[in-house]
Amino acid sequence: MTKAEIVNKLPYSDPFLFVDQITEVSQNHIVGHYTFDESHDFYKGHFVNFPVTPGVILLECMMQIGLVSLGIYLLRDKNFDLKSNSTVAMVDNEARFYKPVFPNEKVTVVSDLEYFRFHKLKSKVKMLNEAEEVVCSGIFSGILKPGDE
């Protein structure tokens, strides 16, 4: 499975797709990128005259790359299609925020697998800004269940 195929299998589309590309992927690790375009509607009201990316959107970006994309890769040999016959749900997250992310800023999400068993995926995930500073980090877990099980 190619990195582009992983992105194409994500069950999201604009304006709620927060993955531009996957640059590394293995059984235990994934790295992806996203640029927060200034045209996103949430910037219009999230701090007037000083737009900042909402924390919940940062968490969503981290989940889309650090859990869902990694899960798609880990389940590549199964009948796993999030767009039609499989389920995914966030179970838990422990996140800490350190720096803001501004419009037009490119972020990098790095995720290291803790475990994947009984359909539960748990990873240590961090988001870096363009200066390679940690923006936020946490431990995330979710359920990824192929449709044939």
Structure tokens at 126: 């961090």
Beta-carbon contacts of 104 under 8 Å, excluding residues fewer than 6 positions away, are 35, 36, 37, 38
Catalytic residue among 29, 33, 46, 119: 46
- Regarding pTM above 0.75, the answer is yes
Does residue 11 sit in helix, strand or coil? coil
Tens of pLDDT, residue by residue over 73-127, are 998 887 677 777 656 666 677 899 999 999 999 999 999 999 999 888 999 999 9
Query: DSSP code of 4?
Result: H
Is 40 marked active-site? no
E strand or H helix that includes residue 72: helix 70-74
Q: Which fold has domain 3-145?
A: Thiol Ester Dehydrase; Chain A (3.10.129)
* Beta pairing class for 29-36 and 21-26: antiparallel
pLDDT score of 60 more than 80: yes
